[in-house]
Structure 1
């Protein structure tokens, strides 16, 4: 792993102290800014499947490890996680009651990101970067300072509303110009084959209840089935049908948790015709029956309401 360019323990301690106050409850803590959430976990989490919406995860205390294909992604006080497209992976965390995991999650506002991208493109950079849908990157000091200023204003409703949006935009700028910002800019620009796969992913997330197959998704982006399959796996580290299945199961879990739907109704809404098949595949992915998993989530996390501006429909 690459160390932070300018390691500053004082900044880290300030951020942890503010998060201790701003996130007193285990689970998600909401802020006056709809796209900014604070996470506190007083216990370690063993490997569990997750599907993040596009966004930025900044861990100030504790550690998260993500297993994505053959890659190990570590995001902690020295590294943040950037997500351009929702991809399923497995995550585990290090935390304790004495030193809880404290993190900030910024749900990606594509309008703001596009404005920052446009401003950067006007600077005339001709460099080519390989787009990546998910990566961990060093926490450079300018980004750390921007995050600290955001945390300082989140304690005030007025300051959050007036100053918060500009600070979020500043964080976008720091990430997009950071060590791997070029890869994120290329991904969000949705050009080339990555852009076509992004369109297919959007189709999956917005049409979960419909009958979808690989042939249909390939036609949607004007690719042959073999080419589509290869590019899709390159972007997501999984096959199109495995991605579809994982996304449906994650969304059904969210529907049961947030809306109190039963297994039959939730499975039908995400495209399953057989509740028994849904339950088998659900337990295979999450390790628990749907009802037991909902109980576990209710006891462990205070989930935020759905993000109004998200172009994807996904769980965190």
Structure 2
């Protein structure tokens, strides 16, 4: 379903240009992968109620519309004036403001740890030690410098040659801007295992790489170099949930993705993400999402107007990188 629109009179010239570029790059409702790995677009033409989501480490920039994220007792607003940075993969809840006349238009830039590591080496002499315990999620004002970089990224992605030659450097620039901003401490700590936060970030990466297998808290705590009590407390401080609840939530989000995008039935999706009992999977799925697997898949497809698309095994693996269900 293609949609174009005229930006409202209150938007800036830069924002109007980004909205126009969006109509070329991502005219359809739902997720649209860009030609640059790690960058994807999202369009919604209707409001979406508060629902569970799982974001990978990413920078989320909104060109139009508004989202609110909820983690524990905190609310994070991200719109055309503020962008969201997640330094670790986090399950939380969000709601979306959008309409046919003014769709929600968002860009997600995955935090590439290889790029971040290279930048940190270059910045090593100018950035000091992290002194405060960082957070997993930040909502930050979108200043003119970052806004300009985002517009240039969209311009580059609209041209196949520019996308290949220029877009990776602009994506690197956006990561640099984040690293040198207030969120930089969190991403640095997550990568270098500084403080308790960095050790929890390592555990979260372990969970996301091995969520299909057997995971237990004792092993995760031992690998993090913490006592069981400290690990539990620090883990909940970062994610607002317990370690095993986080594992369960991660599995359920991946299962929903497999059902919505790849057309797997509940039993097949449950087995794929590590559940041995289909009935247990269905109970826990409904507890998290509020609907049975069948009804949730119907709801998600209605929201995004997208039927399941058969995919190759390689495409399934790529799709699992996109653990957001925005």
Structure 2 partner of 1:276 = 279
- 1:314 match: 323
Instruction: Name the residue aligned to 2:142.
Output: 139
What is the correspondence of 1:243-262 to structure 2 with a 5 Å cutoff? 243-262=246-265
Deviations 1:89-122 (A, max 9, x none): 0000100000000111112211111111221113
Q: CA–CA distance in 2 between the matches of 1:201 and 1:183?
A: 14
Following superposition, the deviation at residue 13 of structure 1 comes to 2.1
Q: Distance in 1 between matches of 2:122 and 2:11?
A: 30
- Identify the residue that residue 103 of structure 1 maps to in structure 2: 106
TM-score normalised over the length of structure 1: 0.90
Q: Distance in 2 between matches of 1:154 and 1:275?
A: 42
Partner of 1:125: 128
1:127 positional shift? 5.7
Deviations 1:144-172 (A, max 9, x none): 11111111111111111111001101111
Q: Which runs of 5+ in 1 are unaligned?
A: 1-6
Q: Does 1:196 align with 2:205?
A: no
CA distance in 1 between partners of 2:323 and 2:102 (Å): 29
Of 157-166 and 202-211, the range deviating more from structure 2: 202-211
After TM superposition, the structure 1 stretch with the greater mean CA deviation from structure 2, 118-127 or 13-22, is 118-127
Q: Quote the offset at 1:8 in angstroms.
A: 8.6
For CA contacts below 8 A with separation 6 or more, give which structure has more relative contact order: 1
Contact 1:79 1:139 (8 Å CA) reproduced:
yes
Aligned partners of 1:140 and 1:178 also within 8 Å: no
Deviations 1:8-50 (A, max 9, x none): 9222222222223322111112221121111111000000100
C-alpha distance 44-68 of structure 1, shift in aligned 2 (>3 A): same
- How many angstroms apart in 1 are the aligned matches of 2:102 and 2:254? 31
In structure 2, distance between residues paired with 1:313 and 1:25? 17
* Structure 2 counterpart of 1:148: 151
Separation in 1, partners of 2:11, 2:183: 21
Match for residue 80 of structure 1?
A: 83
Distance in 2, matches of 1:96 and 1:252, equals: 29
CA distance, structure 2, for counterparts of residue 127 and residue 240 of structure 1: 25
Whole-Å separation in 2 of the counterparts to 1:201 and 1:127? 20
Matched, 1:289 2:292: yes
Alignment of 1:1-316 (within 5 A): 9-126=12-129, 128-301=131-304, 308=318, 314-316=323-325
Stretch deviating more after TM superposition (230-239 or 260-269): 260-269
Q: Relative to 1, partners in 2 of residues 1:246 and 1:222: Cα closer, same or farther, differing over 3 Å?
A: same
Aligned residue pairs: how many? Answer: 309
> Aligned pair in 2 of structure 1 residues 306, 185: CA closer, same or farther (>3 Å)?
farther
Shift of 1:313: 7.8
Q: Residue by residue, what CA displacement relative to the aligned partner does 1:216-265 show, whole Å, maximum 9, x if unpaired?
A: 22122232211110010111111112111111111111222333332222
Retained in 2: the 8 A contact 1:28–1:39? yes
Unpaired runs of 5+ residues, structure 2, are 1-9, 310-314
